[in-house]
Amino acid sequence: MVRKNSSIQINWGVIPVGQELQNEFGGTVELQYRSYLLPRKKYMNGLYISPFLKYRYVEFKYASIYNQINSFTGGLIAGYQIIFAKKFSLDYSFYMGMKYSNWNKPYRYESYKYIISDELTFGIAF
């Protein structure tokens, strides 16, 4: 959903895991409601702020130990998005918030953390 100075983003991605891991799989889903502070006229280029909610799932086997990790992160994100060729985006963002994680196997472990991080993403619009 896109309005003049805002949009709802639903992001999906695959999580790459290290080469020493076996049977690895991971994915992420993220929901954002972006408010563009300095939008350009044609596309949603520019500086934005947004609340976000992200879910990540990773399963892997390392040294004959199978693990499964679920995490939820929520907070505030600020970034700059550039749209080119009408379908592609390059997005640099900085975010902070709370993260909850649990490891299900072979033992149960839960953690709550305050996080501050950044990321660079490339996207394709459908």
pLDDT digits (tens, 9 = 90+) for 11-22: 887 766 555 555
The mean pLDDT value for 48-76 works out to 83
> Dihedral (C-alpha) 77, 118, 98, 44: value to the nearest 10 degrees?
20
The CA-based angle 23-17-73, given to 5 degrees, is 115
Give me 115's structure tokens.
Answer: 């996080």
The pTM for the full model equals: 0.72
Residue 1 is assigned to a structural domain of this protein: no
Residue 86 is assigned to a structural domain of this protein: yes
Residue 47 is assigned to a structural domain of this protein: yes
Residue 105 is assigned to a structural domain of this protein: yes
Residue 44 is assigned to a structural domain of this protein: yes
How confident is the model at residue 92, as a pLDDT?
92
Per the structure, the complete domain to which residue 90 belongs is given by 6-124
Provide the domain count of the chain.
1
Res. 77: pLDDT tops 80 = yes
Residue 21 is assigned to a structural domain of this protein: yes
- Detail the DSSP E strand segments found in the chain: 6-14, 22-36, 46-62, 65-84, 88-103, 109-124
| Lowest-confidence segment of 10-14, 40-44, 56-60 by average pLDDT | 40-44
Calculate the CA 36 to chain-centre distance.
18
Residue 88 is assigned to a structural domain of this protein: yes
